Amino acid sequence: MPVLHFIFVTKHEQNRAASGRDYNYVQRMAAFYGSWIREKFGISYEVRCDELVANPRGVFDRINMHTLVRDHEHRGKETYHFYLTYFRPIWTDCTCEGYHAENFGMAYWQSPKDADISEEDADLFFAEKNCTVVSHQILHEMLRMKGNKRHIQDVHDLWTKHVFSQLEFVQYDGSHKVTEERPSFLVVDASALESG
């Protein structure tokens, strides 16, 4: 079974409590994407989730896109590695703050500024700011794998509709079901793409 491995990249000095809250969401989001990909694209991944902490005295003293590409190669290119990072991509063709290559994904991870934010509000923040960008990158990779030659442009046209033309993101609840209620996860509408 192919492996989809999410890696939450944090700074050494990052606020522990806040990153615990974020990582808790990352783990739930990783499981969600396992079922979303199975449902939408018919691929069953074994989903893994880890943290990678930049350590000023360790191997990963400074993590950047180059070190992530090397990390991906070192861990094994046959695994789909998806990095959630505290820095923005320095090079990307994307219209959002993410990057993708074969079996490689990256998204800039945003945290709520308000330390007293409720768990529910934090989840909604993560869904809107981060989960949507992750879905953009995963859709690139799924379409690429399926041999869609226009996968860059198709995803970006779809993204433009979401961001500028009031096409709604698809809302999922904590049980990975589509919901009209407050969502736990928000993703690009891949069905809008298939229908042109």
Q: Provide the binding-site residues for Zn ion, judged by CB under 5 A.
A: 94
Using CA atoms, how far residue 123 sits from 11, 25, 96, 129, in Å, is: 21, 7, 20, 10
Cβ proximity to Zn ion, 33 vs 184, nearer residue: 33
Q: Could you give the CA distance from residue 192 to residue 188 in angstroms, rounded to a whole number?
A: 9
Q: How far is the CB of 95 from Zn ion (least distance, A)?
A: 6
Q: How far is the CB of 155 from Zn ion (least distance, A)?
A: 5
Q: How far is CA 106 from the centre of its chain?
A: 7
Q: How far is the CB of 189 from Zn ion (least distance, A)?
A: 15
Nearest to 138 by CA among 98, 85, 92, 178: 98
Cβ proximity to Zn ion, 94 vs 188, nearer residue: 94
Cβ proximity to Zn ion, 53 vs 145, nearer residue: 145
Q: Which two tokens stand for residue 125?
A: 């923040």
